[in-house]
Amino acid sequence: MISDATRAFARAHRDEDVRDLALHAKPGPYVDLTAALEQIAGFRTARVKLPGWAACEDVVYPPHLAMEQCSSEATARYKADVARRIVAGDAGDAAAGNAAAGEPTTLIDFTGGFGVDCSYMARVFDRAVYVERQEHLCELAAHNLPALGLVHARVVNDDAAAYLATLPDDAATMAFLDPARRDAHGARTYAIADCTPDVLGLIDRLLAVAPHVMVKLSPMLDWHKTVADFAGRVHEVHIVSVANECKELLLVVGRDVCAASRVFCVNDGQALAFDAGGDGNDGNDAAIGDGETGQDARIADPADSADSGSWRYLYEPNASIMKAGCFSLLARRFAVAPVARDSHLFVSAEPAADFPGRAFEVDAVATMNKKELKRLTDGLTHANIATRNFPIPVAALRRKLKLKDGGDAYLFATTDAAGRHIVIRSHKR
């Protein structure tokens, strides 16, 4: 742990440029400049990523890699909200009922890391255990968790699998794992089997120890296959995005086999939920849980490409929806029509309230005919250009249209249901 003098230096200079300090600072004999610079860099990252932690003067920050890999405050709070709902008894099982009746609840975080997820989820439980195999991270957690007011959290320096083997059945209410997604050489890995610890190999024992297991996985994974890998025991899938960037794939695994996993597409608090087949079937074949049944596997009819004059509103689904692939559900629930099956853009004649994504008003539609394009771009010098199911990349299309980036106009280049390449000019609603 760093000295008081080093921490005081870091606190006094935390608004200054780290590189400039490294070259010109004169810290004195009792200050470890390298450690101080690490604290300053950590604080500056936390101020954006973890404002709640940055507001605590006593927090000590880890090396850069741990700060890079840790959850943001927004995603950590979301996990805590999921845990709170489950502990409160929404899952309806015996363990949740016991928790609601007043028996102590326990969280075990088997992959503690920097401790961000644990620090927010622990507030939901009467007791918490932070487990981490790296000793220096355990030392940080032993300091930071009490500093954040989490005096009921215990720190254990051990390997996840080894500690799991020591626990009796029903030792916890919920287990949490965030498997390391880097190999021994530091390269990123994505498949569950390539992560450490091997959650699939440990899942039976984990479920013996806790009736609910929450697993944080890479957003790069195919969630359908991931659900299938757990052989029907995934009760909930959470596709979590922040600022329209997909950040995490969260699974809630339970002891019982369920016929349909509940899928939550979440972006900055806006959520769309549906029931997907327990075997990981596509969300297009999903029940919605609001009156529609799992027998409704229709693919939404595309918009009439011959009547683009009726396309008054254009919608672009958010990142979580795109990841989930629940496009037919989207069309049915919000009364919108896909421009084409693979274009992943939607249109309507009437505005769709609360659409989970960006909404635009359509100004004009043109094919790639030169005259039509000239009329479409008349008066424009700048435009925001995006392509969906279109053969020309954005940069090349921008050159072709002779437009600079930016402005209030939004051009979406795509392919309609008739197979024509079109450009839709629009502005934000």
Specify whether 181 is located in the same domain as 94. Answer: yes
Specify whether 57 is located in the same domain as 110. Answer: no
Phi, psi at 177, each rounded to 5°: -140, 135
Mean pLDDT by 10 residues, the chain (429 residues): 83 84 80 87 93 94 84 96 88 47 88 95 98 95 96 97 97 95 57 84 97 95 92 96 96 94 93 73 40 44 85 96 94 95 94 95 96 96 97 96 96 96 96
Give the range of the structural domain holding residue 414, as residue numbers without chain letter: 305-428
Q: Residue 132 and residue 115: Cα distance in Å, rounded?
A: 9
Question: Which SS3 state, helix, strand or coil, does residue 317 take?
Answer: strand
Residue 406 makes CB contacts below 8 A (sequence gap 6+) with 382, 383, 384
In a domain, 134, yes or no: yes
In a domain, 316, yes or no: yes
Residue where a domain stops, chosen among 254, 285, 316 = 285
Tokens of 422: 């079109």
CA dihedral sign, ordered 2, 116, 228, 210: positive
In a domain, 153, yes or no: yes
Residue 275 sits in a domain whose CATH number is 3.40.50.150
Specify whether 213 is located in the same domain as 260. Answer: yes
In a domain, 292, yes or no: no
Tokens of 403: 């437009």
Specify whether 115 is located in the same domain as 218. Answer: yes
Specify whether 122 is located in the same domain as 46. Answer: no
pTM exceeds 0.85 for this model: yes
Minimal CA–CA distance to 331: which of 350, 312, 349, 348? 348
What separation, in Å, do the N-terminal and C-terminal C-alpha atoms of the chain show? 52
Which residues make beta-bridge pairs with 276? Answer: 261
Packing angle of the helix pair 4-12, 33-49 (nearest 10 deg): 50
Specify whether 91 is located in the same domain as 239. Answer: yes
C-alpha neighbours within 13 Å on the C-beta side of residue 314 = 27
Specify whether 85 is located in the same domain as 51. Answer: no
Question: Which SS3 state, helix, strand or coil, does residue 140 take?
Answer: helix
Q: Which long-range contacts (CB under 8 A, 24 or more apart) does 52-61 make?
A: 53/116, 53/119, 53/144, 53/148, 56/147, 56/148, 57/11, 58/143, 58/144, 58/147, 59/144, 59/147, 59/148, 60/1, 60/2, 60/7, 60/140, 60/143, 60/144
Tokens of 39: 């604290």
Tokens of 165: 């083997």
Q: Residue 51 and residue 338: Cα distance in Å, rounded?
A: 40
Specify whether 157 is located in the same domain as 258. Answer: yes
- Residue 320 has a pLDDT of 97
- Residue 101 has a pLDDT of 55
**Pairing of β 260-267 and β 346-348:** unpaired
Q: Residue 370 and residue 360: Cα distance in Å, rounded?
A: 24
Phi, psi at 260, each rounded to 5°: -145, 130
CB 299 within 8 A of CB 328: yes
Q: Residue 64 and residue 41: Cα distance in Å, rounded?
A: 8
**Pairing of β 313-317 and β 337-338:** unpaired
- Residue 284 has a pLDDT of 43
- Residue 300 has a pLDDT of 76
Q: Residue 316 and residue 26: Cα distance in Å, rounded?
A: 53
Task: Give residue 249's identity as a one-letter amino acid code.
Answer: L
Minimal CA–CA distance to 409: which of 387, 386, 425, 388? 425
In a domain, 299, yes or no: no
Q: Residue 190 and residue 201: Cα distance in Å, rounded?
A: 16
In a domain, 297, yes or no: no
CB 343 within 8 A of CB 389: yes
Q: Residue 272 and residue 322: Cα distance in Å, rounded?
A: 12
Minimal CA–CA distance to 373: which of 302, 422, 309, 319? 422
CB 80 within 8 A of CB 124: yes
Q: Residue 250 and residue 261: Cα distance in Å, rounded?
A: 12
Q: What is the CA radius of gyration of the chain?
A: 25
Q: Residue 343 and residue 90: Cα distance in Å, rounded?
A: 37
CA torsion angle for 205, 208, 212, 214 (degrees, to 10)?
-10
Specify whether 232 is located in the same domain as 348. Answer: no
Specify whether 177 is located in the same domain as 314. Answer: no
Q: Residue 18 and residue 124: Cα distance in Å, rounded?
A: 37
Residue where a domain stops, chosen among 19, 40, 61 = 61
- Residue 241 has a pLDDT of 97
In a domain, 294, yes or no: no
CB 252 within 8 A of CB 236: yes
Number of structural domains (the chain) is: 3
Minimal CA–CA distance to 376: which of 358, 402, 338? 402
Specify whether 137 is located in the same domain as 180. Answer: yes
- Residue 249 has a pLDDT of 96
Question: Using alpha carbons only, what angle is made at residue 404 by residues 401 and 408, rounded to the nearest 5 degrees?
Answer: 100
Specify whether 50 is located in the same domain as 78. Answer: no
In a domain, 296, yes or no: no
